[in-house]
């Protein structure tokens, strides 16, 4: 399995993140925020396959492109579309749904599940296309333990940060993988073969066996001897928040082992007063957080439109001074 991703939107423009969990058997696509024109970079066939949109918050630059997503998916027949957001998500998104005239959808498929994170609760409502999105059906009102959504192949977590209003940071974790210790297999005198698929496929019952070169072996024993758990990849989406000491410590603990951080770098160090007044970070904050988390990659995005390309290059160097693996999206050409 692997996580692939694409930052959407240019420097100084609205941005979003498209993340894909590739399992070998399926591709799970999730969109984080949906700024204006961001989906113009994505083929319509892929937009039709996005399973969820996870909003950090509902400032206009993070939701202005949602109508385009909704237009292509309002009557999606295959599965419900998930939408996630902070406090107020249900009302905000219900108004988006109802901001159009629906007079030919009596038999139309389409279902949206809107999850609102209001610690200590996680509340989900369903909206149906055939009902013209007029009714919010309560599906869940459960304790929020940090997990937004979990399936066999991945898990989406969130934390509430301060942007002058609740703002969600997200962490997409790929499920751990089970791999064979081939050296141990060889040392036991066994040869790789179809039996490995049976061993890895599922938790066996105590009496299940498999025959290898004429010899019967218990599957449970083979799993215990030869399978090694390997952590999956992970990607964090961090934007629009103030990084005080307490928030920093919480993020560092939460993001431990994170593979990739996609993080705002809205302001240069010289503009700290502007950053603080608008609940953003400066380069030094981003670099310090990255140095403590130590991801393999740090991708910077969501930069202010006040800066020239030269100033953005200088801003990147401010981060690299403490965390050399920082980069802007390659297509920005900065």
Per residue in 68-125, pLDDT tens?
999 999 999 999 999 999 999 999 999 999 999 999 999 999 999 999 999 999 999 9
Q: Is the pLDDT of residue 318 over 90?
A: yes
- Same domain? 58 vs 194: no
- Same domain? 17 vs 115: yes
Q: Quick one: tokens of 65?
A: 């492109």
Q: Is the pLDDT of residue 202 over 70?
A: no
Give rounded-to-5 percent helix, strand, coil for the chain.
Answer: 30, 35, 35
Q: How confident is the model over 143-148, as a mean pLDDT? A: 97
- Same domain? 160 vs 246: yes
Q: Quick one: tokens of 208?
A: 């299940």
Count the helices and strands in the chain (H runs, E runs).
Answer: 11, 19
Q: What angle do CA 21, 26, 28 make, to 5 degrees?
A: 40
- Same domain? 133 vs 251: yes
- Same domain? 75 vs 170: yes
Last residue of a domain, one of 214, 230, 246: 230
Most confident listed range (17-26, 176-185, 306-315): 306-315
Give the pLDDT confidence of 225-251 residue by residue, as tens digits: 878 877 889 999 999 999 999 999 999
Three-class DSSP category at 196: helix
From residue 113, how far is each of 23, 28, 81, 116 by CA, in Å? 24, 17, 6, 10
CA dist., res. 185 & res. 191, Å (int): 7
Q: Which domain holds residue 103?
A: 2-175+232-329
Q: How confident is the model over 163-169, as a mean pLDDT? A: 98
Strand partners, 314: none
- Same domain? 240 vs 271: yes
CA dist., res. 161 & res. 226, Å (int): 42
- Assess if residue 150 is contained within a domain: yes
Give the pLDDT confidence of 284-314 residue by residue, as tens digits: 999 999 999 999 999 999 999 999 999 999 9
pLDDT for residue 236 = 98
Domains in the chain, number: 2
Q: Is the pLDDT of residue 187 over 90?
A: no
Q: Is 61 a catalytic residue?
A: yes
- Same domain? 124 vs 152: yes
Average pLDDT over the chain, rounded to whole?
Answer: 94
- Assess if residue 105 is contained within a domain: yes
What pTM was computed for the model?
0.89
Kind and range of the H or E run holding 315: helix 309-320
CATH code for the domain of 249: 3.60.15.10
Query: Is the backbone of residue 7 left (phi > 0), alpha (psi -120 to 50) or beta?
Result: beta
pLDDT for residue 165 = 97
Give the pLDDT confidence of 49-70 residue by residue, as tens digits: 999 999 999 999 999 999 999 9
What is the side-by-side order of every strand in the sheet holding 16-22? 2-8, 16-22, 27-32, 50-54, 81-86, 111-118, 121-128, 137-143
- Assess if residue 334 is contained within a domain: no
Three-class DSSP category at 226: helix
- Same domain? 92 vs 107: yes
Cβ pair 75, 105 in contact under 8 A: yes
- Same domain? 21 vs 111: yes
- Same domain? 236 vs 114: yes
Catalytic residue among 25, 33, 61, 91: 61
CA dist., res. 231 & res. 228, Å (int): 10
- Give the chain's length: 334
């Amino acid at each position: 399995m692997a996580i692939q991703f694409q930052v959407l939107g240019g420097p100084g423009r609205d941005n979003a993140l498209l993340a894909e969990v590739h399992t070998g058997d399926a591709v799970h696509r999730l969109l984080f925020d949906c700024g204006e024109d961001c989906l113009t970079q994505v083929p319509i066939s892929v937009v039709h396959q996005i399973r969820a949109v996870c909003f950090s918050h509902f400032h206009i630059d993070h939701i202005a492109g949602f109508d385009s997503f909704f237009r292509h998916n309002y009557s999606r027949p295959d599965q419900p579309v998930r939408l996630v957001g902070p406090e107020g998500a249900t009302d905000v998104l219900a108004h988006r749904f109802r901001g159009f005239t629906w007079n030919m959808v009596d038999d139309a498929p389409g279902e949206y599940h809107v999850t609102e994170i209001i610690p200590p609760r996680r509340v989900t409502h369903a909206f149906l296309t055939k009902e013209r999105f007029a009714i919010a059906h309560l599906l869940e009102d459960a304790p929020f333990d940090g997990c937004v959504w979990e399936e066999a192949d991945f898990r989406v977590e969130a934390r509430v940060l301060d942007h002058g209003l609740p703002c969600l940071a997200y962490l997409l974790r790929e499920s751990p993988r089970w791999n064979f210790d081939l050296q141990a297999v060889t040392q036991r005198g066994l040869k790789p073969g179809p039996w490995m698929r049976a061993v890895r496929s599922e938790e066996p019952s105590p009496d299940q066996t498999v025959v290898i070169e004429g010899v019967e072996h218990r599957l449970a024993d083979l799993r215990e001897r030869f399978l090694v758990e390997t952590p999956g990849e992970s990607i964090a989406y961090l934007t629009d928040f103030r990084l005080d000491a307490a928030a920093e410590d919480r993020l560092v603990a939460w993001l431990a082992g994170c593979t990739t951080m996609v993080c705002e770098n809205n302001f240069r160090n010289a503009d700290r007063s502007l950053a603080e007044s608008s609940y953003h970070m400066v380069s030094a904050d981003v670099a310090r957080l990255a140095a403590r988390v130590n991801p393999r990659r740090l991708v910077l995005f969501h930069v202010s439109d006040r800066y020239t390309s030269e100033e953005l290059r200088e801003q990147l160097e401010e981060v690299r001074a403490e965390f050399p693996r920082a980069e802007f999206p390659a297509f920005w050409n900065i």
